[in-house]
Amino acid sequence: MGKLVVVGISDQQIVSPTDTLITYALGSCVGICLYDYAQKIAGLSHIMLPEANSGLNKKETYKFANTAIEELVNTMERHSCKRYRLTAKIAGGANMFATSGKSIGERNVEMVKQELQRLRIRILAEDTGANYGRTVEFDPEDGSMVVKSVGKGHKVL
């Protein structure tokens, strides 16, 4: 077994077997796992907000769905991945607090889906919405994503 590579809030990482990606505390945030099955390279982005304004510094790029996903794709392509082989699994986007109108979690999920569609990356599975947080692990060996939630157990996507 390799190492567990932690992806923090507004962060992203890529790994290959035998390492595993993990991100904690996906409340309204969304974890986006991209995977190139031929290269067995996985990337994980933990976005916080749906949309950025212009003039971001490099670290802020990872905070927003409309900038982080494209940056993750570009990084994976620099590591021999092909965009046409990339698939996605997403989790998070919960409504953690009672709100009127669309919650930040809902808006995050919408923007993530919009960006993945724009980049022509197919979503294979998702565990989004509801009102509870999630932890996500992604294994590049087989492309599986495990979603763990307190009181909800875990699911393999």
Q: Which helix (H) or strand (E) holds 83?
A: none
- Sequence-ordered list of residues with C-beta below 8 angstroms from that of 145, at least 6 positions apart, any chain: 33, 89, 91, 125, 136, 137, 138, 139, 156, 157
Cis before 75 (ω within 30): no
- Backbone angles phi and psi of 84, in degrees to 5: -65, -15
Task: Give the tokens for residue 56.
Answer: 């971001």
**How do beta strands 86-92 and 122-128 pair?**
parallel
What whole-number distance in Å separates Cα of residue 61 and Cα of residue 128?
A: 22
Catalytic residues: 29
Average pLDDT over every residue of 47-55: 84
pTM of the model: 0.94
Q: Tens digits of per-residue pLDDT, 74-132? A: 999 999 999 999 999 999 999 987 777 789 999 999 999 999 999 999 999 999 999 99
- Sequence-ordered list of residues with C-beta below 8 angstroms from that of 98, at least 6 positions apart, any chain: none
Domain carrying residue 10: 4-156
Q: Tens digits of per-residue pLDDT, 66-75? A: 999 999 999 9
The domain total for the chain is 1
| Contact present, 70 and 107 (Cβ < 8 Å) | no
Task: Indicate which CATH number applies to the domain containing 10.
Answer: 3.30.1330.200
What is the reported pLDDT for 48?
Answer: 95
The residue with greater pLDDT, 116 or 150, is 116
What is the reported pLDDT for 54?
Answer: 67
